[in-house]
Structure 1
Amino acid sequence: MLLLDLHTVPPRERVEAFRHALTDSLVPNDIAHEEGEAGIHARMELWQVGGLDLFATRNSGFEVRRTAQHVRHHRESPVVSVSLQPLGVHRAEVAGRREVLGSHDICVFHELSPRTYGWSGDGASQALMFDMHRLGVPVETVERASLRLRASPLHGLVLQHLRGLWHDPARLEADPGAEALASATTELVRALLLSAAHAEESVEVRSTMDETLLTRVMAYARAHLADRDLTPERIAAEHAVSVRRLYTLLGGAGISLEQWLIEERLGKARRMLASARYDRLTVAAVSARCGFSSPSHFSRRFRSAHGVSPSAWRRLRGTVTSPPRG
């Protein structure tokens, strides 16, 4: 069932239409959009499979924040959302811990826990909504598990199961086995949450976390390129390692952190300058969105790397596929 297509909504009404479709009067949230009214886009759909709500959205960049004050106002039967991120790099924060989530992650939120969630640019989410009482897992357990789902040996199994539900949810709605499927899915998710919440910090778990550390560090840095305070100290702290270990990790992969960040930021700026979508932004605004300390610093770096100024590259858009050099 189509819940919302903002292309059919007048620009001045899109913010309220988005809020109404994403939440309801019983579930207050603060929602901030990356784009202005005319630039907001969203398509939201809902299916019901054996008593489970399957909610999918693809929309422009946004952030939804649920505070402790919001939590005090909730529906009679709160829900636990379990979502996949098929498109975009998603950001989440629960219990003061920030996470970067991609297509190989499961994201879990309990409606009675404060949290922040969103993404920049075009992104998509596929969420299952479990009635808290049907799932039968306490708030504290859900919150603890949400921070360490990959520590569970069930993570890969449940991830594949959830992906399978999204191959054709409309067909599942009408299937005579829908109720049994919903029950089986609930049991799998319950098992994952209990497993992750109580997983010991074993050698196997530490090994898994170590093996994925470089990937997680790179994904985190890419998701925070706009932050001018994206320092080695901050990156290390976010991943509970020392700065020395961070540099050792990157050095082993042949990566110079400072140079890599400059290249990533220049690449992001180049794409923005090449896109008509960002024509309304000044070069200074592009510079800020890409995390440069000042427009002049950005211009010097851009010219040094590509042989032309940012403004000249924007004017050349459509006539070349990459910036000229020298």
Structure 2
Amino acid sequence: MAVLLDTAEVAADDRHEIFREAMLAASGATRVELEHVPGGISGRMELHELGATRIFTAQSSGIALLRDRRTAGGASPEAVAIAVQGLGVGRHQMGDRQRLVKPGEVMVVDVTRAFDFSWSGTGSSTSLQVPIAELGMPLSTVQEASASLERSPLYGIVSRYLVDLTARAERLASAPLAPSVGEASVHLVRALLAGAVGDRPDTRDVLEQTLLAQVRAYVREHLRDPALSADQVAVALSVSRRQLFRICARAEFSLEQYVIGKRLEGAKAELGSPSGRGRSIAGVAYSWGFKDSTHFSRRFKAAYGMLPRDWRRHAAEDTSSSQMGAGPR
């Protein structure tokens, strides 16, 4: 699935009713009100499947979604929806709690409770729909977390992730890795919710393992940056330096050794490849984030039992022998 509805392809006189009915079916609201605008309402809805999860995006002129208490009271949702505001400022009310949802801010869409969500002018919102069965978390925990999502150390990460996921949703949904992306999204949402309910035995491991996965992913993406540091990682993942080191210590994970190990792996592979043999050893070292070639050589020997120049010669000899052995017989 991709585009569910685009009012640009609907006759002007039919847009109001068609868009309203489509939003009723997709949002879990029991009433949809559309803001009057010159020229008629405009809107677009997209739905993309990523394994067990789905990304639903809606952009439109002013809209209000309301769910009444009677309908909400009998709801038993199959999925939890985590939404991030795109364009405009949303107004969300659930019970006595009211908040403005600014671009980039995240909220839980809870269809088991009455709610009122709206925006004026052009606005947009994206929700990641995660099946409760996949989430493996009681609905009561989800509801508790929804009131304090900002407390979770993963709040900023999830916000950026949802924005990036939305931008790439169509391409990802058609790729073979779509189920893997969906699985990773479930883990991230689970950790977001676990972090929001506080430091409890039943949620701590989920949060810490997800943060460690994010640390490893960030490091792999920035290995070649010589300025890569614990402070940079902490800022990128929206956690404090102290919290980062505490989580690493609990998992007996050395961030410094992980960075060095991955850089050495990359440098070793490049030194042994035909394309890398034409580069100087110092050049390869610098390209993998090492600031000093002597330090690099010492680390390389400690890890692999030989100097970089000896490894390069050894790799070249192996390649030459393989090519000779593959010749005509």
Structure 1 residues 144-183: aligned runs within 5 Å: 144-183=144-183
- SS, match of residue 35 in structure 1: coil
TM-score of the two chains, using structure 1 as the length reference: 0.56
Amino acid at match of 2:18: A
Larger Rg: 2
> Cα RMSD over matched residues?
2.4
Sort the Cα spacing of 1:178 and 1:141 in 2 relative to 1 into closer, same or farther, 3 A.
Answer: same
Deviation at 1:25, TM superposition (A): 9.2
Which has the larger displacement, 16-25 or 51-60?
A: 16-25
Counterpart in the other structure of 1:132: 132
Deviation at 1:37, TM superposition (A): 9.3
Counterpart in the other structure of 2:22: 21
Deviation at 1:126, TM superposition (A): 1.4
Amino acid at match of 1:152: S
Cα separation, 2, equivalents of 1:160 and 1:123: 18
Cα separation, 1, equivalents of 2:199 and 2:41: 41
State yes or no: 1:96 paired with 2:96: yes
Counterpart in the other structure of 1:195: 195
- SS, match of residue 160 in structure 1: helix
Cα separation, 1, equivalents of 2:38 and 2:12: 5
Percent of aligned pairs with the same amino acid: 31
Deviations 1:94-138 (A, max 9, x none): 232011111231121122222111101110111111122222333
Sort the Cα spacing of 1:25 and 1:82 in 2 relative to 1 into closer, same or farther, 3 A.
Answer: closer
Counterpart in the other structure of 1:79: 79
State yes or no: 1:111 paired with 2:111: yes
Cα separation, 2, equivalents of 1:36 and 1:139: 39
Counterpart in the other structure of 2:40: 39
Contact 2:58 2:126 in 1 (8 A): yes
Amino acid at match of 1:113: R
Contact 2:52 2:131 in 1 (8 A): no
Sort the Cα spacing of 1:25 and 1:189 in 2 relative to 1 into closer, same or farther, 3 A.
Answer: closer
Cα separation, 1, equivalents of 2:38 and 2:16: 7
- SS, match of residue 7 in structure 1: helix
Contact 2:24 2:31 in 1 (8 A): no
Cα separation, 2, equivalents of 1:27 and 1:57: 13
TM-score of the two chains, using structure 2 as the length reference: 0.55
- SS, match of residue 65 in structure 2: strand
- SS, match of residue 167 in structure 2: coil
Cα separation, 2, equivalents of 1:64 and 1:166: 21
Contact 1:12 1:38 in 2 (8 A): no
Deviations 1:32-73 (A, max 9, x none): 122169521111111111121111111011110112212245
Amino acid at match of 2:65: V
Sort the Cα spacing of 1:114 and 1:136 in 2 relative to 1 into closer, same or farther, 3 A.
Answer: farther
Contact 1:90 1:117 in 2 (8 A): yes
Cα separation, 2, equivalents of 1:17 and 1:128: 24
Cα separation, 2, equivalents of 1:111 and 1:34: 23
- SS, match of residue 184 in structure 1: helix
- SS, match of residue 58 in structure 1: strand
Deviation at 1:28, TM superposition (A): 5.1
Amino acid at match of 1:58: Q
What runs of 5+ residues in structure 2 fail to find an aligned partner?
Answer: 201-329
What runs of 5+ residues in structure 1 fail to find an aligned partner?
Answer: 201-326
Sort the Cα spacing of 1:77 and 1:150 in 2 relative to 1 into closer, same or farther, 3 A.
Answer: closer
Amino acid at match of 1:151: R
Deviations 1:128-175 (A, max 9, x none): 111222223333322222221111111122222222212311111122
- SS, match of residue 45 in structure 2: strand
Contact 2:86 2:125 in 1 (8 A): yes
State yes or no: 1:185 paired with 2:185: yes
